[in-house]
Amino acid sequence: MTQTDDATTWTETDHAPETTSAAAPARQPLLLTPDEAGARVRRSGGWMRRKAAAGEIPCTVLGRTILFSDTDLDDLVVMHHRPATG
């Protein structure tokens, strides 16, 4: 491939970048509602709200809204992990 000014010229031996026909995956929300987060960890939205309001589980508070990031949910799982005792 050779470049002249602002144009690119392709020769027979050059290959254009490959593209895939599959659409890019939809971007996940940065923060989840208590109901959305609860579904991911198999708890109700009410359980998530109560525990977060009591300071028992990690969360993100924007104004008066309780939200959960992926990191909050990862930390929640680690906090409640019980190793095998046998």
Write the CATH number for 36: 1.10.10
Please give the C-alpha separations between residue 19 and each of 7, 14, 23, 67, 72, in angstroms, as whole numbers: 21, 15, 10, 37, 35
Instruction: State the average pLDDT over residues 26-36.
Output: 88
The residue among 62, 33, 63 whose CA lies nearest residue 49 is 33
Question: Mind listing the pLDDT tens digit for each residue in 40-83?
Answer: 999 999 999 999 999 999 999 999 999 999 999 999 999 999 99
The pLDDT, as a whole number, for residue 9 is 54
Residue 44 located in a structural domain: yes
Domain count, the chain: 1
Question: Mind listing the pLDDT tens digit for each residue in 5-26?
Answer: 555 555 555 555 555 556 777 7
Residue 80 phi/psi, 5° resolution? -105, 10
Residue 75 located in a structural domain: yes
Residue 5 located in a structural domain: no
**Cα 64 to Cα 49: distance, rounded to the nearest angstrom:** 12
Residue 45 located in a structural domain: yes
**Full residue range of the structural domain in which residue 38 is found:** 28-81
The pLDDT, as a whole number, for residue 51 is 98
